[in-house]
Amino acid sequence: MSFLECLRRTSGRLGVLLALLGAAGCFRVNTPRAARVSLPPDAEPRQEYKSRLGNPAFYDEFGIRYRVLQTSKDFVQRGVASWYGHPFHGRATSTGETYDMYAMTAAHKTLPLPTYVRVTDLDTGNRVVVRVNDRGPFVEGRVIDLSYVAAVKLGIADRGIARVEVRALDPPAVDPPRMEGGGGAMRLWAGPASPRHRGPQPSASPLHPWFTTPAATPASHPPGPRW
């Protein structure tokens, strides 16, 4: 059984969970590199159209105006990365796609959606490639929010946050075809197009006591910060 399959099927407190994973032969607790081998591959950059959702010229969130970049060409940024998982698993992202905490995706405040980026942990040198398809994190100092599995693969899920470099990869997304009859490319959403508001996230253990495979739920505002 792969490590990812174990993550999907197992729940319970951290100690019990680690014991079960070890008993199932999924990985050795003292060999995190072996555990990462069975995680999903990095996202593979490819040419895509910009999403018709989530790419307004600008949007406002928590009283701050964010201007969406026209292109990801030559984009490089350094700052703090965090990650998000349950209870957002199964809810709508800014592109209208369903968020999957086990897919190699991420959220960014201003990059065009979608954009493929390489995220490098500046302390360890570990790298992952993810597809940005959501907006956030709306926390001062944070530059990118990784999916849970991307954070595990990068090796930061246990820390919760890490200093990273975010580098956009080619090819950048291009404008979608114009609609017949004129009027330009259709853009339907004026805001960040994400149902979630993210509060501060303290460092967390790699497998939380709440960890389980949650059922998909309709997009809606969570009752409060996820931590």
Domains and CATH numbers, the chain: 1-39 (no CATH), 42-227 (2.40.40.10)
Q: Is the pTM of this model over 0.85?
A: no
Residue ranges in the chain whose pLDDT is less than 70: 1-37, 179-227
* pLDDT at residue number 62: 93
Q: How far is Cα 165 from Cα 21, in angstroms, rounded to an integer? A: 32
Residue with tokens 């309709």: 218
Q: How far is Cα 86 from Cα 173, in angstroms, rounded to an integer? A: 28
* pLDDT at residue number 22: 42
CB contact at 8 A, 127 and 155: no
CB contact at 8 A, 9 and 205: no
* pLDDT at residue number 65: 97
Residue with tokens 């065009």: 112
* pLDDT at residue number 142: 97
Cis peptide before 177 (omega within 30 of 0): no
Residue with tokens 């246990």: 158
* pLDDT at residue number 177: 87
Q: How far is Cα 135 from Cα 58, in angstroms, rounded to an integer? A: 12
